[in-house]
Amino acid sequence: MSKIILVRHGDSQWDQENRFIGWVDVPLLERKDLLKNIGNVLLNNNTDIDVVITSTLERSIVSAWTIMNSMYHSWITEIHDWRLNPRHYGIIQGLTYQEAILKYPNINEINLSWDQTVNPIALDDKNHPRYDRRYSNVEPEKLPSVESLKDVYSRVETFITDVLLPILAKNENILIVAHHDSIRSILKYFQKLSIEDTIAFNINPSHSIVLEYDANTGISTQSLL
Amino acid sequence: MAYTLVLMRHGESVWNQLDKFTGWTDVELSTKGIQEAKTAGVMLLQNGFEFDIAYTSMLDRAIDTLQYALEGAHMTWIPVVKDWHLNERHYGGLQGKNKAESIDEFGEYQVKVWRRAFAIKPPLLSEYDSRYPANDERYIDIPAEQLPIGESLKDTLDRVQPYWESELKPAILSGKRLVISAHGNSLRALLKFLENISDNKIIDIEIPTGNPLIYELEEHTLKVLKKYYLIDIKNKSNKNIFSKLKSIFKLT
């Protein structure tokens, strides 16, 4: 048996301003009590974490460090993988909800759909991920200009196959600190959620959910920390 | 094109203040140590440093220093390698003891020899000691006979050397820009290899905490072209540098 502990990163300034953040690297706010508490619970439960995996964004990485630090396990092996990034919100990244609705009156419908997107950012936009050196090891055509939830799911699926399943085959426990869309994609994969249930799934910032996974049967059960 | 290498000695820990032999004991940074690390990170960013990979020891105080610095520099996403070869000198049976207590127990002369001699080992740990490294889960994948149970400075240098040769040096030669967060004695080892410092002299070299040490190295040969500390402490305006940066960068 392995445990996959899924944690959504803590709040950033832009979360509080209700902005579409996407791939913009907004720092975590300093209030980290909920994250520290996750570390304390893991420590008190004697849950051995073998590896920590985050997205390539600071709010997820610093959230992971906060948890590891509060459980005195800063030394655990860590991996940062771009495929755990949140959904790329194209041209509305950085806009508040009120600003976005002026461009897209049907923004709610788009966001609550499986495969619709807003318009992509241009390939020559200096904010395109292909100009960010943190993605220099990724083939440029794989890097998104905008994504639907379906697109997020497809890349998370390749992450699960390439990275997660080999670790789970060794019966190791994994702490994943990521984003709303990448977390529900992982749940869809392991819990075989329907598209409707995936869209409806919510997890609050600095909150966690646990999957207990049996590598022999491939069956996972959901539990709380 | 020269290579740039940045070394950081971890910021002050809570045991530095208590004057204890720390070694491989996991001790948290003090408030001052955290401030030193954040300052280092902001200063690295302000001076245009970029890194491709970070290396740190397996001890919390070095890892935390690295993390606070990378957060200050907004470069948290770079790969981080944590390796025991960069750990502090293992102080064996002295670990956890206050320097005054050690003098009471072993005598002033003996303690001075352990601290100052190049090749004299401290009292060694037995495998039944709670401080025995092979009993620590973080070293579970390392064969017990490779892990130290009490080191002289020479032993520390001897264990850092193969790691320098097999891991760090090839990474620098491949053009990667490294930041290494480590300890007084494991960093002495790196200084010795970089600058060919003799055994006699290395013991007198002190590296300040929390102040990034910058090396510019000649391509291919790794000859030291330039060496300096990022924060010029002789400049009086840097005395309260954290308070200054704090208000500008909203550090806490």
Residue from A216, A210, A209, A211 nearest A170 by CA = A216
Burial of B67 (0-12, 13-18, 19+ CB in 10 A): buried
Check residue B252 and give its pLDDT.
Answer: 61
Contact residues for B80 (Cβ-Cβ < 8 A; gap 6+): A78, B53, B54, B55, B56, B66
The C-alpha atoms of residue B252 and residue B238 are separated, in whole angstroms, by 18
B108 touching chain A per CB within 8 A: no
Contact (CB<8Å) B63/A75: yes
Q: Which residues of A touch B77 (CB under 8 A)?
A: 56-58, 61, 80, 134
Overall residue count recorded for chain B in this entry: 252
Residue from A206, A156, A144 nearest A183 by CA = A156
Contact residues for A16 (Cβ-Cβ < 8 A; gap 6+): A29
Contact (CB<8Å) B76/A62: yes
pLDDT in tens, B91-119: 999 999 998 999 999 999 999 999 889 99
Contact (CB<8Å) B67/A65: yes
Check residue B15 and give its pLDDT.
Answer: 87
Contact residues for A90 (Cβ-Cβ < 8 A; gap 6+): A22, A117, A118, A119, A120, A121, A145, A146, A147
Q: Which residues 30-59 on chain A approach chain B with CB closer than 8 angstroms?
A: 30, 48, 56-58
Cβ atoms of B2 and B206 within 8 Å: the answer is no
pLDDT in tens, B20-36: 999 999 999 999 999 99
Count of the separate structural domains present in chain A: 1
Residue from A93, A75, A35, A95 nearest A59 by CA = A35
B217 to chain A, closest Cα gap in Å: 23
Whole-model pTM: value is: 0.95
Kindly name the residue from B12, B36, B85, B88 that is annotated as catalytic: B88
Check residue B248 and give its pLDDT.
Answer: 67
State the pLDDT confidence band at B188, using cuts at 50, 70 and 90: very high
E strand or H helix that includes residue A74: none
B165 touching chain A per CB within 8 A: no
B59 to chain A, closest Cα gap in Å: 7
The C-alpha atoms of residue B51 and residue B93 are separated, in whole angstroms, by 38
Structure token pair of residue B139: 């070293």
Q: Where are the beta strands (DSSP E) in A28-99?
A: 51-54, 77-80
State the pLDDT confidence band at B249, using cuts at 50, 70 and 90: low
Pairing of strands A2-8, A208-214: antiparallel
**Residue ranges, chain A, pLDDT below 50:** none
Known active-site residue B90: no
> Average pLDDT of chain B?
93
State the pLDDT confidence band at B250, using cuts at 50, 70 and 90: low
B77 touching chain A per CB within 8 A: yes
> Average pLDDT of chain A?
96
Q: Which amino acid is at A186?
A: I
Largest pairwise CA distance in chain B = 54
**DSSP structure class, residue B168:** I
The C-alpha atoms of residue B109 and residue B96 are separated, in whole angstroms, by 19
Topology of the domain comprising B3-17+28-90+152-249: Rossmann fold (3.40.50)
Report chain A's terminal Cα–Cα distance, integer Å.
Answer: 16
Contact residues for B197 (Cβ-Cβ < 8 A; gap 6+): B191, B205
Contact (CB<8Å) A61/B59: no
Q: Which amino acid is at A139?
A: E
Residue from A10, A61, A62, A54 nearest A33 by CA = A10
Contact (CB<8Å) A75/B138: yes
Residue from A23, A75, A84 whose CB has the most chain B CBs within 10 Å, to mutate: A75
Q: Which residue of B has its CA nearest to A27?
A: B74
How much of chain B exceeds pLDDT 90, in percent?
86
Q: Which residues of B touch A56 (CB under 8 A)?
A: 77
Known active-site residue B10: yes
CATH code for the domain of A49? 3.40.50.1240
Contact (CB<8Å) B63/A74: yes
Task: Give the residue numbers spanning the domain of A177.
Answer: 2-223
Cβ atoms of B54 and B180 within 8 Å: the answer is yes
- Is the pLDDT assigned to residue B240 strictly greater than 90? no
Contact residues for A193 (Cβ-Cβ < 8 A; gap 6+): A184, A187, A201
Domain ranges of chain B: 3-17+28-90+152-249
Structure token pair of residue A36: 């520290």
Strand partners, B4: B216
Check residue B192 and give its pLDDT.
Answer: 97
Cβ atoms of B87 and B183 within 8 Å: the answer is yes
Mean per-residue pLDDT for B43-52? 97
Strand partners, B217: B3, B224
Check residue A169 and give its pLDDT.
Answer: 95
Residue with tokens 């520099």: B73
Residue with tokens 């200009």: A145
B246 touching chain A per CB within 8 A: no
Backbone angles phi, psi at A53, to 5 degrees: -125, 135
More confident residue, B122 or B240: B122
The C-alpha atoms of residue B35 and residue A61 are separated, in whole angstroms, by 20
Q: Which residues of A touch B76 (CB under 8 A)?
A: 58, 61-62, 65
Contact (CB<8Å) A75/B64: no
Contact (CB<8Å) B77/A62: no
The C-alpha atoms of residue B57 and residue B148 are separated, in whole angstroms, by 14
Report chain B's terminal Cα–Cα distance, integer Å.
Answer: 37
A27 touching chain B per CB within 8 A: yes
Structure token pair of residue B110: 């003996």
Check residue A8 and give its pLDDT.
Answer: 97
Mean per-residue pLDDT for B126-133? 94
